[in-house]
Structure 1
Amino acid sequence: MRSTPLFSGVIYILLGCLFTFIAIQNIQREETWGFFTYFLIIIATFDLGTGLRMVGQHFKLKNKMKK
């Protein structure tokens, strides 16, 4: 089964939000920015960027198919 770029993009965005939430919880619990917090923020950044790129790709393909 092939997934559409829109579905994959939404999944990546949700994962990015989840990793951001976990990083915020980690900062509040430990009250410091450790390696694990930076790692979570980097993963969240990649996930959000990929998700936004895939959603944009979906709409580009949709507009191309219309024409």
Structure 2
Amino acid sequence: MRQSPLFSGIIYIILGALFTVFAIQDLQQNGEWGFFTYLLVLLATFDIGSGIRMILLHFKIKEIKKEQKK
């Protein structure tokens, strides 16, 4: 059974939020922007962007399937 893009998109967004929380905690502990903080923000950006794209893909596939049934 294949995973739906909606499920994958939600997982990506959750991971992006988690990386954002880790970046905020790292920034609060160190008091400055270090390499690790930038890395976490970069990962969060990629994950949230991928999550949004996967969710949009889910709705596009759903729309195409709906048009094919007509």
TM-score w.r.t. structure 2 length?
0.93
Q: What is the aligned-residue RMSD (CA, Å)?
A: 0.5
Counterpart Cα distance in 2 of 1:38 and 1:2: 34
Counterpart CA distance in 2 for 1:3 and 1:66 is: 19
Using the TM superposition, give the Cα deviation of residue 2 of structure 1 relative to its aligned residue in structure 2, in angstroms: 1.2
Give the C-alpha shift of residue 6 in structure 1. Answer: 0.2
Q: Partner of 1:5 in structure 2?
A: 5
- Identity rate, percent: 58
Aligned equivalent of 2:23: 23
Partner residue, 1:46: 46
| Separation (CA, whole Å) in 1 of partners of 2:25 and 2:63 | 40
Q: Which string of whole-angstrom CA distances, capped at 9 and with x for unpartnered residues, describes residues 17-59 of structure 1?
A: 0000000010011100000000000000000000000000000
List, as ranges, runs of 4+ consecutive aligned residues in structure 1 with deviation greater than 4 Å: none
Structure 2 segments unaligned to the other structure (5+ residues): none
- What TM-score, normalized to structure 1? 0.97
Residue 57 (structure 1) aligns with: 57
